[in-house]
Each structure stands twice: as C-alpha cells, then as structure tokens.
Structure 1
Amino acid sequence: MAGLVNALLIVAVVVVVIVRQFRARPIDTGRRWWLLPVILAVVALREPGILDAHHRTESALLLGTELLVGLGMGAAWAWTTRVWTEPDGVVWTKSTKASAIVWFAGIAVRVGLVAIGAVVGVHQDSSALMLGLAVTLLVRAGILVWRAQSLPSAPPAGAHTRAYGDGMARVTRKEGV
C-alpha cells in the first residue's frame, strides 16, 4: 500500500510542479525553497524497500544512477528556465520549451532505468524515484535562487517605480458613524 501512496504522491508533486513552473511566477529568494525536496527525501528514505535485499549492489547502482539523473535533470531544468527582473525589481521565472524537453528526456531515462532493473531482476520501490525527484527539485530550486540573487533585483536608490494602479482615480468612501 505504501508503494501506491508514494506513486500517487510522486504524480501529484510532478503535476503541481510542472503546471506551476510553466507559468510566469515571481521568485522569492527568502522563502524556504528547499522544504518540499527535503520532505520528499525524508518520505523516500523512511521506506525500508529503497534497496532490494536480494540484489543490493545492483539496486544501489540503480539508485546512484537515479540520483545522478536527478542532479543532471535539476541542473538542466534550472539553466533552461528563463529568469528576468521586472522594472519594479521583482525577479520572475518561467520554464521554457527546452525545460519541457529536459523533463521528457529525464522521464525517458528513468523509464530506461526501471527497464534495466526489471531485466536484471531488481525490485525497485517508488521511494527511489521519489528520492530522485527530491534531488531534481532541490538542485533546480537552488540554482534558480542563486541565479535570481545574481540579477540586479532592486531599482536604483531614490528611483520611483510604477505599480499596478498608479494614475488611476482613487475612490474613497467615508464610513458613517
């Protein structure tokens, strides 16, 4: 049953992450960008079946490869994501078509790893996939925060920046007492 729950959790996280990342969003470098990947890693590592008891070496190699794929995919996804600063100083991000290619390539490699494991006879638990996803998200978020912090994010001192609603007539209402 835990495998099904993990699989559903993985699918839910992937759907939420992909949908959110392909829309322009402001990056908040001060928030806990590492929290979701750490939670996923803890959930993955608490499962006893992350390594196959009968094929420890092979499953450890597959897990290591999964983690390397996660590192590469996270870095490639972060570097194919567009990052820019708006005139008001807010840093924005949006994944690109190249980011979608990175996702499809990463999924294809992971399917290949599962196929190799099946051919070798290694029982692979969904916790290995979840751990790889956690690494992907952690690396991507870390690189994006680093990229966002390296951009000029604040307007020059004393400069007036326009905000939504500037120049619009203001309607004030008096409350009767």
Structure 2
Amino acid sequence: MSGLVNALVIVAVVGTVLARQLRAHTLDTDRRWWLLPLVLAVVALREPGILDAHHRVESAALLAVELLIGLATGAGWGWTTRIWTAPDGTVWTRSTKASVAVWGVGIALRAGLFALGSALGLHQDSSALMLGLAGTLLVRGGILAWRAQSFGVAGRPAPAYGDEMRSAWKERV
C-alpha cells in the first residue's frame, strides 16, 4: 500500500475507535478483540519501507520507541476506561477524560518522535505508525478484557483513574 492509503487507514481506524469509545457501549468479552490489531500489524509489517535503508539502526531505534509509546498509550487507555455491569449482567465501558488525556499525550509523543526522525534525516514510513497503533489497540483490548473478567455477573463499576473525584453514577445510553 502507498503512504497515502496507509494514512487514510490510520485516520479511519483512529476515528472509528475514538468515536465509539467516547460513548457508553457494551463490551463483548467473547469477541475477538485482538483481530483488528493483528490485521493492522500484518499490513504494517508487509511494507518494505518500515526501516530506512540508509539508516537501519537509527530507524529501528525510532520504531522501537514508537512501539513503546503505543504500548504505553494502550495501557493508559485501558486502565483509565470506566467499566461497569448493568443489572442484567452485561458489561459496559466508556472512556473517561483521563483516557482522552492519555491519547493526547500519546499523539504529542509520536509527533515529537516524528520531528526527531526528521531532524536526523530519517525516512519515516506510515507503517511504523500503523504498527504502533496496532500495539495500542492490542494492549487496550487485552486490559479491558482482563478487567471485565475480574468481576461477576452483577457488581459495581470497576474504578478508573479519577473516579474517586466524582460521584459514581451509571451513564445512560
């Protein structure tokens, strides 16, 4: 795929995921939450330009940092997402303001990483960003699936960062 197609795929995935996460929705723990990150990773790794041919060590280091940022963003997003069960036992989830802040920090770090790569004269392909996004979604999905399994059929909301600062009431859909 070309860089433009990769960029469009990234924008479409991020837009869809963020739009869905900012409203309350059911969390299907039986679903294959790892499938979309796997597809993104395969598409990213199939690209030949993921590493700069003239600066392999430097571009591999930037790719490793991109993956670490993606994993940290996914972990932060997973732990700041609010999870609760409805009286009928369904598990609900919704991102919090802290989740949005985690995304903002992740985007700022990625922009800084891109600026560093540009300053070093490295060719940077969009497939590295797609691989980082795959890591973000994989870690977030795993944490949410694990957190959702941690409480029974009916229970109170699982705490998210900042929950103790406000009253805990169930968001209505």
TM-score, with normalisation over the residues of structure 1? Answer: 0.86
Q: Partner of 1:112 in structure 2? A: 112
| Aligned equivalents of 2:67, 2:94: Cα separation in 1 | 25
Query: Percent identity among equivalent residues?
Result: 71
Q: Secondary structure at the match of 2:14?
A: helix
Q: Is the 8 A contact 2:27 2:91 kept in 1?
A: yes
Q: Secondary structure at the match of 1:40?
A: helix
Runs of 4+ that moved beyond 2 A? none
Q: Partner of 1:41 in structure 2? A: 41
| Aligned equivalents of 2:22, 2:41: Cα separation in 1 | 24
Task: Kindly name which structure, 1 or 2, has the bigger radius of gyration based on alpha carbons.
Answer: 1
Q: Secondary structure at the match of 1:84?
A: strand
Q: Partner of 1:145 in structure 2? A: 145
Q: Secondary structure at the match of 1:83?
A: strand
Q: Which runs of 5+ in 2 are unaligned?
A: 156-173
Q: Cα distance, 1:154 vs. partner?
A: 5.3
| Aligned equivalents of 1:153, 1:116: Cα separation in 2 | 48
| Aligned equivalents of 1:123, 1:111: Cα separation in 2 | 15
Q: Partner of 1:102 in structure 2? A: 102
Q: Is the counterpart of residue 17 in structure 1 residue 17 in structure 2?
A: yes
- For residue 111 of structure 2, what is the amino acid of its counterpart? V
The 5-angstrom pairing of residues 12-91 of structure 1 reads 12-91=12-91
Q: Is the counterpart of residue 7 in structure 1 residue 7 in structure 2?
A: yes
| Aligned equivalents of 1:154, 1:41: Cα separation in 2 | 36
| Aligned equivalents of 1:132, 1:123: Cα separation in 2 | 17
| Aligned equivalents of 2:152, 2:87: Cα separation in 1 | 10
Q: Cα distance, 1:153 vs. partner?
A: 2.2
Aligned residue pairs total: 155
Q: Secondary structure at the match of 1:28?
A: coil
TM-score, with normalisation over the residues of structure 2? Answer: 0.88
| Aligned equivalents of 2:93, 2:50: Cα separation in 1 | 34
Q: Partner of 1:130 in structure 2? A: 130
Q: Secondary structure at the match of 1:30?
A: coil
Q: Which runs of 5+ in 1 are unaligned?
A: 156-177
- For residue 50 of structure 1, what is the amino acid of its counterpart? I
- For residue 4 of structure 2, what is the amino acid of its counterpart? L
Give the RMSD, CA atoms, in angstroms. 1.0
Could you report, residue by residue, the CA deviation over 1:119-141 in whole angstroms, capped at 9, with x for unpaired residues? 00110000000000000000000
Q: Secondary structure at the match of 2:124?
A: coil
| Aligned equivalents of 1:113, 1:100: Cα separation in 2 | 20
| Aligned equivalents of 1:23, 1:75: Cα separation in 2 | 19
- For residue 132 of structure 1, what is the amino acid of its counterpart? G
Q: Partner of 1:166 in structure 2? A: none
Q: Cα distance, 1:30 vs. partner?
A: 0.5
| Aligned equivalents of 2:151, 2:87: Cα separation in 1 | 12
Q: Secondary structure at the match of 2:23?
A: coil
